[in-house]
Amino acid sequence: MRRTGWIIALLAATACGSGVWEMPVFPDGGLLKGAAVLPDPSAKFLEALFRIEGSTSTFGDLVASRARDGGVSFFGSGNKAYSVLRPGCVDDAGTLVLEGYWRNATGGRTGLIRLFVEPPEAAVALCRGEEPVDPVGLRGAWGSGGDLPDQPLHLAWESPLKQPNPPFRVVAHRGGCRTMDQCGASENSLEVIRIAGSLGADAIEIDAQLTADGVPILYHDLSFSDRLVEGVYCLGPVSEFPLAHVRALCKLEYGEQVPTLDDALRVIVEETSLVAVWIDIKTPDAIAGCVAATNRWRARAEALGRQVRFVHGLYSDEMVDAWLRSDLPSDAVCLVELDPKDVRGAGCEVWAPRWTRGPMGSKVKRVQESGRTVAFWTLDEQEFIDVVLTDARPNAICTNRPGLVFQRFQMVGESPWGPNP
Amino acid sequence: MALGATPTPRQTYLHYPTGVGAYEWGGGIGLTLDILSTRLVESEQRFVPRLTGAFRYGFPAGFSLEATLDAIVLVNELRMGLLWSIDTGPVAWALHDRLGLWFGYIGVDGFDTHAVGLVQYPGASVGTIIAGHHLSLAFEVILVHAQRVDFGDASVSRVNTGYGGFSLRLLLESPVGPGVLYYGATFFQASPDYQLWLAFSDGRRKLQFVRFHLGYEF
């Protein structure tokens, strides 16, 4: 008995809990507390490819930066590290500082970053909303955990970003990241959609299915389980829970509500700069409700002058058949994960092959030349991303590592063969 | 023993540290079942069953040679290794080093993928005999040396040694008739991609799962 007791104790000791990642923040708001907001057009001048001098083992040699929704993010390939910063003008607009956090997407490493724009003349110009004469650089420090940054970091301007035409889109899986990726919000939540742009996404993929009372909600699995939700009475098939019960009984891993599709589309249209949403419809009975929701929010986007593409994902023959049987508006856009012939047969605009079929370069080119777009899913590993970017030249890649795909496109990617916008 | 009688051959044990004597051999067949948690492998509980066959041959001075083949087409692994063991009375000890070549093929809808990899498993085990039942506890480190994936018309290879995690196996071998019934479980804390590379993400956090063993040795 005693002999088996220590074996059980040893097993228990090695089985650590998963926990959730908490974003480190500067104490007392850091230098951004009381800083003036950087004029919107200026953030674009911080978008570039930068060469890292020092600390390359954490961030890699080259990082690509992007400005979205008031923030500036930096994406490296080394350790899949990324940084999400916010800019602010201090010292009577004579200094432009960026503060935020960095994170290793596949590990637990994280910390704070503080960078200053140089030369000082560039910082002054940007804070005035003017284009700087010379390319900008960034100098500052990074730290580990909640410690103040103390390790020097210098980002030297290397080159402007590629501007592919037709464009290449980074599609963030499950709204931004999966719950298991611990990016600070649960998958398929409003919170993760709000941060998707800062994680490197141009567009997002979300999962939709119906509650018992016919409301499309965002949830991936067909059953509620402790993998994604908390709540003693939140277990079992999603289709057996009315929305009111979902609202009352279920909380996502980071404490968020399970959103309705309407909630999610409102956030996409009104609160983000995302250009497309791929709605992976999980069951045939959800097709009509999803299309009705996208119609409402497409009209709202048009009223706001926003260009958002709403794409309905069909992953199986059964879903394609249900789509064809449904009485849908002729302008509803669909995506098929099967073969190009299935895409044509369903009258869809997007072919979304699983990456494990290989890059299929010539087939991808033919599909693109026929006026359809191609989006591979779901690619997370740098070596595979590079092969697909160079051999297939797709229009989009769906990924759990949007920042990595963005950085790799800037390093090795080329414009898709088509279709012309 | 009566003069001229045929000696009864000593029963061999595939997993117990001193389970085979010099120039003895043993073989076995069985099943393993991996149970992977839904927290780590998406929407449904994943059960990965495999057929397994094992062979062990003893040399003098406590050394023995081992070979194991696990197979389910999706992921298969051939392991070969050398083990040195010593009996110290109430317990027996062993050190081992095994090299595993794993290979798999997925040709179902959405996949056109072959994968191979080379993994090393150095480790140690301790065993004791309780009422004729041979109980053993084995610890192994997982070192990943190389992986290659062919996907469609492209391939990606990696060659470098990385720590893939560890495993801890508790196994009981009980004499039944002319052979031995074995059963037990292994706890893994391993990188998602040390094996079954295609089925998991690129996360560096270690995956915790359990493998159950059941088989017969002859």
Please report, for chain A, the start and end positions of each structural domain, with discontinuous segments joined by +: 27-159, 169-412
The residue of chain A nearest to residue B114, with distances taken between CA atoms, is A356
Q: How many CB atoms lie within 10 A of CB B21?
A: 14
Instruction: Let me know: does A286 contact A220? Beta carbons within 8 Å.
Output: no
Instruction: Let me know: does B201 contact A180? Beta carbons within 8 Å.
Output: yes
Distance from C-alpha of A253 to C-alpha of A267, rounded to nearest angstrom: 20
Question: Does the CB of B139 have a partner CB in chain A at under 8 Å?
Answer: no
pLDDT of A3 reads: 39
Alpha helices in A20-144 (DSSP H): 40-43, 56-59, 120-127
| Residue pLDDT, tens place only, A264-281 | 999 999 999 999 999 999
- The CATH number of whichever domain residue B173 belongs to comes to 2.40.128.100
Could you check whether the bond before residue A166 is cis, i.e. omega within 30 degrees of 0? yes
Q: How many helices (H) and strands (E) does chain A have?
A: 13, 22
Strand, helix or coil for residue B135: strand
Q: Given B43, B109, B137, which is nearest A221 (Cβ)?
A: B43
Distance from C-alpha of A264 to C-alpha of A270, rounded to nearest angstrom: 10
Cα B170 to Cα A183, B89, B136: the distances in Å are: 37, 20, 6
| Residue pLDDT, tens place only, A222-257 | 999 888 999 889 999 999 999 999 999 999 999 999
Distance from C-alpha of A214 to C-alpha of A75, rounded to nearest angstrom: 40
CB contact under 8 A, A356 and B38: no
A interface mutation test: which of B205, B206, B208, B210 has the most A CBs within 10 A?
A: B205
B interface mutation test: which of A387, A391, A408 has the most B CBs within 10 A?
A: A387
Q: How many CB atoms lie within 10 A of CB B156?
A: 16
CB contact under 8 A, A14 and B111: no
Q: Does B177 have pLDDT greater than 80?
A: yes
pLDDT band at residue A13 under the 50/70/90 scheme: very low
Phi then psi for residue A44, to 5 deg, are -60, -30
A13-27, A119-133, A333-347, B28-42: lowest mean pLDDT where? A13-27
Is B140 part of a structural domain of the chain? yes
Question: Does the CB of B25 have a partner CB in chain A at under 8 Å?
Answer: no
pLDDT of A16 reads: 38
Does A354 or A10 have the greater pLDDT score? A354
CB contact under 8 A, B154 and A358: yes
Instruction: Let me know: does A230 contact A251? Beta carbons within 8 Å.
Output: yes
- Spatial CA neighbour of A343 closest among A360, A309, A366: A366
Is B73 part of a structural domain of the chain? yes
Instruction: Let me know: does A319 contact A279? Beta carbons within 8 Å.
Output: no
Task: Report how many domains make up chain B.
Answer: 1
| CB environment B31-44: b (16+ within 10 A), e (fewer) | ebebebebbbbbee
Q: Does A181 have pLDDT greater than 60?
A: yes
Domain A169-412 has CATH 3.20.20.190: yes
Mean pLDDT of chain B: 87
Token pair belonging to B150: 């062919």
pLDDT of B4 reads: 46
Q: Does A331 have pLDDT greater than 60?
A: yes
Q: Does B73 have pLDDT greater than 80?
A: no
The boundaries of the domain holding residue B166 are 25-217
The residue of chain A nearest to residue B150, with distances taken between CA atoms, is A358
- Spatial CA neighbour of B102 closest among B196, B184, B39, B35: B196
pLDDT band at residue A9 under the 50/70/90 scheme: very low
CB contact under 8 A, A383 and B156: yes
A287-296, B79-88, B187-196: lowest mean pLDDT where? B187-196
pLDDT band at residue B194 under the 50/70/90 scheme: low
Distance from C-alpha of A138 to C-alpha of A100, rounded to nearest angstrom: 14
Instruction: Show the beta-strand stretches assigned E in chain B.
Output: 25-36, 46-58, 63-71, 76-87, 91-106, 113-130, 133-151, 154-176, 179-190, 207-217
Is B12 part of a structural domain of the chain? no
Mean pLDDT, to the nearest integer, of B169-185?
96
pLDDT of A15 reads: 36
